Amino acid sequence: MKQRTLNQYLRERFGRKIYKISISGGFTCPNRDGTLDTRGCIFCSAGGSGDFAEDKTLSITEQIDLGKSRVAAKMPEGYIAYFQAFTNTYAPVERLRALYSEAIEHPCIVAVSIGTRPDCLSDEVLDLIAELNLLKPVWIELGLQTIHEKSAEYIRRGYPLAVYERAVRELRARNIETITHVILGLPGESREEMLQTVKYVGESGVQGIKLQLLHVLEGTDLAIDYRNGLFEVMSMEDYISLIKDCVNVLPDDIVIHRLTGDGPKRILIAPEWTKDKKRVLNALNKELNIN
Tell me the C-alpha distance between 40 and 246, whole Å. 28
Q: What is the pLDDT along the chain (291 residues), one digit of tens a residue?
A: 899 999 999 999 999 999 999 999 999 999 999 999 999 999 998 765 656 678 889 999 999 999 999 888 887 889 999 999 899 999 999 999 999 999 999 999 999 999 999 999 999 999 999 999 999 999 999 999 999 999 999 999 999 999 999 999 999 999 999 999 999 999 999 999 999 999 999 999 999 999 999 999 999 999 999 999 999 999 999 999 999 999 999 999 999 999 998 888 899 999 999 999 999 999 999 999 886
Q: What is the phi-psi region of residue 191: left when phi exceeds 0, alpha when psi lies from -120 to 50, beta otherwise?
A: alpha
Is the previous residue joined to 271 through a cis bond, with omega within 30 degrees of 0? Answer: yes
Tell me the C-alpha distance between 133 and 117, whole Å. 19
All structural domains of the chain: 4-288 (3.20.20.70)
**Which residue type, as a one-letter code, is found at position 52?**
F
- Rounded to two decimals, the pTM is 0.95
CA distances from 249 to 50, 185, 199 (A): 29, 17, 6
Q: Compute the C-alpha angle 170/176/181, nearest 5°.
A: 85
Closest CA to 194 of 236, 262, 267, 248: 248
Contact 213, 274 (CB under 8 A): yes
